Amino acid sequence: MRLVLLGPPGAGKGTQAARIEAAYNLPHIATGDIFRRAINNKTALGVKAKEYIDQGKLVPDEIVVGIVEERLNNGDCQDGFILDGFPRTIEQAEALSALDFDLDVVLNIQVSEEEVINRLSGRRVCQECGATFHLEYNPPSEARICDECGGDLYQRDDDTPATIKERLDVYNNQTAPLIKYYQERDLLTSINGEQSLDNVFADISEVLEELS
Ligand code: AP5
Ligand code: ZN
């Protein structure tokens, strides 16, 4: 199964991708996670990507497309994958389509801007394994400690009010046009993202069961 998770920042793409990965044994490719790892490791890619990410802007298409292409050709993606955070522009979608990995479905996780702001302001992420929590909606059992691996939880640098606003603008201008793009190609299914984590996953599973 080849699927794309689309949605505004904080829609729950990463949270649901982790569940889909576990339930369906599909590789989870998250461009944001790839960049954050590169930033932590202070690689040349990380230094370049940080300039854009800290301002809430998109990393240029030519950089992102090269990374995704390399990852998809890695060997473990032949039987399927979950793309989370890619494509994010029409140009990226065209580049993906040229790679001949025909998609089965694009899941558009819908949440309001107000909810995006609540979710991103309360998000905490594990420094070690990347697991995502929310102070109120999905709290860790012990304050600031990851339930999965015991690692420390931190707040992302781009989860500040000014950067969240910029990311929402970027989403509306550059990413939202993909909804129509995939609708026109009969690939889009919308999911109500403003439900409990379990109910969002149940709706996603229903769509995926129909496909498999
Ligand atoms: P990226 O990491 O992809 O960020 P994003 O798209 O802004 O998405 P988020 O990770 O913020 O949110 P999410 O939808 O995964 O939500 P989550 O599950 O964490 O990208 C970061 C940056 O990298 C970009 O700004 C850009 O600069 C660059 N970049 C990445 N990809 C790129 C590309 N293709 N091209 C160019 N640049 C690129 O959930 C959010 C919170 O809500 C969590 O706290 C969670 O616990 C909580 N939550 C989740 N679901 C629910 C629920 N149902 N109810 C209550 N709370 C919930
Ligand atoms: Zn962890």
Residue tagged 């070690």 (tokens):
128
pLDDT given for residue 100 in this prediction: 86
pLDDT for 79:
87
pLDDT score at 1: 96
Residue 67 lies in a domain: no
Give the domain extent around 90. Answer: 2-26+79-112+169-211
Where b means 16+ CB within 10 Å and e means fewer, 70-100 reads ebbeeeebeebbbbbbbbbbeebbebbeeee
Q: Is residue 34 part of a domain?
A: no
Domain membership of residue 15 (yes or no) is yes
Residue ranges of the chain whose pLDDT lies below 50:
none
Would you please indicate which residues are annotated as catalytic (active-site) residues? 13, 88, 123, 156, 167
Residue 106 lies in a domain: yes
Reference 83, options 72, 73, 94; nearest CA is 72
96 DSSP β-pair partners: none
Give the span between the Cα atoms of 90 and 164, in whole angstroms: 22
Does 102 fall in a domain? yes
Give binding residues for ATP as ranges.
Answer: 10-15, 123, 132-133, 195
The set of protein residues with a Cβ atom below 6 angstroms from ligand 1 is 7, 9-15, 31-32, 35, 52-53, 56-59, 64, 85-86, 88, 92, 119, 122-123, 132-134, 137-138, 158, 167, 195-197, 200
In this prediction, the answer to ipTM > 0.95 reads yes
Atom 50 in ligand 1: residue holding the nearest Cα: 12
* pTM greater than 0.80: yes
Q: Residue 129: phi, psi to the nearest 5?
A: -110, -5
Domain count, the chain: 1
- Give tens-digit pLDDT for 170-198: 999 999 999 999 999 999 999 999 999 99
How many angstroms separate the alpha carbon of residue 145 from the centre of ligand 2? 8
* 160: in domain: no
Ligand 1 pocket, mutate which of 70, 138, 204 (most atoms under 8 A from CB): 138
Beta strand 81-84 pairing with 2-6: parallel
Instruction: Specify the CATH number for the domain of residue 15.
Output: 3.40.50.300
